[in-house]
Structure 1
Amino acid sequence: MPDTAAVTPAPAGAVARAAARIDEATPPHRDRAVDALRAFAILGVVLGHWLVTALVADGDTLRAASPLGPMPWLAPVSWVFQTLAVFFMVGGHVATRSLVSHRARGGTHGAWLRARLSRLFKPVTAVLAVWTVAVPALLLGGASFVTVHTVAKLALSPLWFLLVFAGLTAATPLLARLSPLWPLAVVLHVDLVRFGLGGPAWLGWVNLVAGWLVPYTLGAAWTRGELERPRAGWTLLVGGAAATAVLVGFAGYPASMVGVPGAGVSNLNPPTLAAVTFGLAQCGLALLLRDRLRSFMARPLAWAAVALLNLSAMTVFLWHQTAMMATTATTLLAGRLPGLHTRPDGLDWVAARLLWLPVFVLVLGICRAAFHGFEQGNGRGRPGRRGPSRVVRVQHRSRRPEAKAARNA
């Protein structure tokens, strides 16, 4: 028998052993498909922003642009990477299940909510602190107000999601039994008044809550066991896709599922009926893929990657725009670089942007190393004071009967 260590490269062997340890530390009852869907949603948002957000250099000034404007045929890119509906569905599922388990152990809603919001907002303090210092520093350093406003707005844009998600989380006890049809009806009527009857544009902001309430309550229905049959997933996928096709093809809704600078109507800001029906189709596909994801996540390497991403989910989400803004702004000192500072109006820009993605990943990795401690709960970001990962902590708690009821919370 040959020595395994002799034929297996040391780095590959170390990665495999680390993945095996993570796999063994995960409770057998954990639904790995939930974590995989959350990781997919986070990666979709990150890659979507990196691919469809452009900063065009006009002299020393940076202005926001999007390749979806001059190249509308790239709209399918937004269909792949606009994954917020899946994130809200998973969030509603996890929050509802967590609340049920917490109450079963005699806990109060207040204690449950404080714990969840603390986990949600602690990482925000770091990004706000950095940009509170960065904005005046950039202005004092000679950057134009337009440039600073553009980069700060884009870097902090992920925070809107947290406010909506926090509001829905706080209302989980009221939403746990709510049918998704009710908020869907609200979105339908708001759009009917806005676009069909010439109502005020501000009315659309009602959909900022109602639109994301649809997938969130779908997650609650998942917890109640109402979406276990494949028929539910197929109904959402086919019905949502058909409705979206009709709305885009015949009702004048934009094909892009993200906002495009200069466009008259945005499907995302605020959400429109087309964005919501598209989200229903995405959620249906996610539900249909659960069994395959569970099988794939049985592989230690795949599961380790998903588990590690979930442990850094908030850090990645909050800092990915800052990573791109920092790369774009600092490299402007070297002149107008293709894919970073040039107009996104051709395939040459797309090819150049793809080459910049590894740089964005590298800068995001630096941000993750610097600020991941805030997400882990020590509030100081100091290395060496972290406890074991949540995966390992859940494994230790799983020996107690009540921890089994709180899996994935």
Structure 2
Amino acid sequence: MRRLRQLAERTPPGRERYVDLLRALAITMVVLGHWSVTAIGYDHGRPAGHSALADLPWAWPLTWLAQVMPVFFLVGGYANAASLTARRGRGGTATGWLVDRSARLVRPTTTLLLVLAAGAAVATARGADPAQVRTVVWFATIPLWFLVAYFVVVTLTPPMAALHRRFGLAVPVVLVALVALGDLGRLLGPAGLADGNYLFGWLAVHQLGFAWFDARSPEQPRRRRLPLSRRAGAALLVGGLVALVLLTTVGPYPVAMLHVPGERLDNAAPPSLALLAAATAQLGLILLLRRPAGRWLRRPGPWRAAIAVNAVVLTVFLWHLTAAILLIGLLDALGVLPTPRVGSAAWWAWRVPWLLALAVVLAALVAVFGPVEARTRRPPPTGPADAGGRRLRTTMAVAGYAALVAGLLLNSLAPKAAPEPLGLPVPALVAYLAGAGLLRLLRSGWGSRG
């Protein structure tokens, strides 16, 4: 508590506290959403989980609020623009920013992967089926799909910020048009045309974060500023909702913004026009609540709570499905794992104790692994390098991020029941650790001259 008070007291007056609140709320909603819609059953005598959404069609419109990944990319864009601008204001470079930015993201992720790999190795050595080990680890690493996209977006932040400075809000408009083209590929072919939406959709939302950051400086050109008025918020909310209703009723898009087994399209994988319409409505709601939320965050209690969650926000996100695995395994071992039918009275009654028990397990995991994230410090400044050294550091930084993305992507694409003694494909783990090691080397100052 003392540290939280100190951090709260040192908050700069101009900080947009609402961004921190939104980040904390977004991750909290992701965690609660995943836990709430999880249905547990038995498959060949073993516990198995699946999404309950297929059995709850009445709940699909609720996913318009529950799908909060756009919020995370929006606040990510704001935070990345703010930190990159501050870095350049101190005379730093985009490469230095990129290298330093990796620390907060990579250390908690590396911890998760190493712990899972070690646990899988022990289980395999004790005679566990490698295919079953892989299934468990695959489920635990589902959150990493998000980091695949976010690592790419972070890597592209410097050039996308340059495009924003030149073209402003025209950039997300073009990106939305590319998403529409990808959707045509999904509907009419070729389906591979939609693969670019994994990048274009999230980049479009991330660019709006740049525009929000510029909106705090009235001297910035209007084409670069996101309108923050309540009128603009109402227009975005209504316009987004109207577009979303039309796209999911008259149009071909599913109502649910989360994956539903059996649906022809998945609005989130890759992001679709319908998901961007939902993101527009969410942005409108965010703007409408911005001022009252800002006043509320001026109180010490709410602001300290926001700081506390943000200190371990990635840890919470990364470990929340591992918490579910541990709880399911424990209840199954004790012979008391409830498996009521989805939608039944028993299933609904089990939701509250289920969430509370998961919260306890996750709190224990955060207590153990949260310090890895919370104690991540900004690396010491390094001296300027010559032109050749700068080019080498830039190449190495991009290569490091590319290796991270390749490793996480290989894991996500690998079959969930493939026999993997480490739970993770060895090439995926090697690629990821190579990227993490390369970025760690650069953060230590290698290639700089002081």
TM-score class, shorter: 0.7 to 0.9
Who is 2:229 aligned against? Answer: 229
Using the aligned pairs only, state the percent identity.
40
Who is 2:362 aligned against? Answer: 364
CA offset at residue 175 of structure 1?
1.6
Pair 1:71–1:316, CA change in 2 (3 A): same
Distance 1:58 1:334 in 2: 18
Who is 2:306 aligned against? Answer: 306
Between 71-80 and 366-375, the greater mean CA deviation after superposition: 71-80
Distance 2:128 2:45 in 1: 8
Pair 1:104–1:291, CA change in 2 (3 A): same
> Which residues in structure 2 correspond to 1:81-120 (within 5 Å)?
81-120=66-105
What TM-score do the two structures reach when normalised by structure 2? Answer: 0.75
Distance 1:129 1:281 in 2: 39
Pair 1:62–1:140, CA change in 2 (3 A): farther
Aligned-partner residue type, residue 319 of structure 2: W
Structure 2 unmatched runs, 5+: 216-224, 378-450
CA offset at residue 377 of structure 1?
4.5
Distance 2:368 2:3 in 1: 22
The residue matched to 2:91 in structure 1 has which SS?
Answer: coil
Who is 2:106 aligned against? Answer: 121
Pair 1:44–1:28, CA change in 2 (3 A): same
Pair 1:350–1:269, CA change in 2 (3 A): farther
The residue matched to 2:14 in structure 1 has which SS?
Answer: coil
Distance 1:264 1:53 in 2: 21
CA offset at residue 18 of structure 1?
7.9
Q: Deviations for 1:56-82, whole angstroms, at most 9, x for unmatched residues?
A: 222432333211111211223423321
Pair 1:274–1:139, CA change in 2 (3 A): farther
CA offset at residue 360 of structure 1?
0.9
Between 169-178 and 308-317, the greater mean CA deviation after superposition: 169-178
> Which residues in structure 2 correspond to 1:1-400 (within 5 Å)?
23-141=8-126, 147-176=132-161, 177=164, 179-195=171-187, 197=188, 199-225=189-215, 226-227=225-226, 228-335=228-335, 337-338=337-338, 341-377=339-375
Distance 1:205 1:26 in 2: 41
Distance 2:213 2:61 in 1: 31
CA offset at residue 148 of structure 1?
3.4
Conserved 8 A contact 1:64-1:261: no
Between 142-151 and 297-306, the greater mean CA deviation after superposition: 142-151
Pair 1:61–1:370, CA change in 2 (3 A): same
Aligned-partner residue type, residue 193 of structure 1: G
Conserved 8 A contact 1:20-1:301: no
Structure 1 unmatched runs, 5+: 1-14, 380-409
Pair 1:145–1:242, CA change in 2 (3 A): farther
Who is 1:384 aligned against? Answer: none
Pair 1:252–1:351, CA change in 2 (3 A): farther
Distance 1:232 1:173 in 2: 28
Distance 1:252 1:280 in 2: 19
CA offset at residue 114 of structure 1?
0.6
The residue matched to 1:269 in structure 2 has which SS?
Answer: coil
Distance 2:329 2:355 in 1: 15
The residue matched to 1:304 in structure 2 has which SS?
Answer: helix
Who is 1:10 aligned against? Answer: none
What TM-score do the two structures reach when normalised by structure 1? Answer: 0.82
CA offset at residue 213 of structure 1?
1.2
The residue matched to 1:180 in structure 2 has which SS?
Answer: helix
Q: Deviations for 1:217-244, whole angstroms, at most 9, x for unmatched residues?
A: 1101111212223333223222211111
Distance 1:151 1:95 in 2: 34
The residue matched to 2:55 in structure 1 has which SS?
Answer: coil
Pair 1:144–1:264, CA change in 2 (3 A): farther
Conserved 8 A contact 1:62-1:147: no
CA offset at residue 145 of structure 1?
5.6
- C-alpha RMSD of matched pairs (Å): 2.2
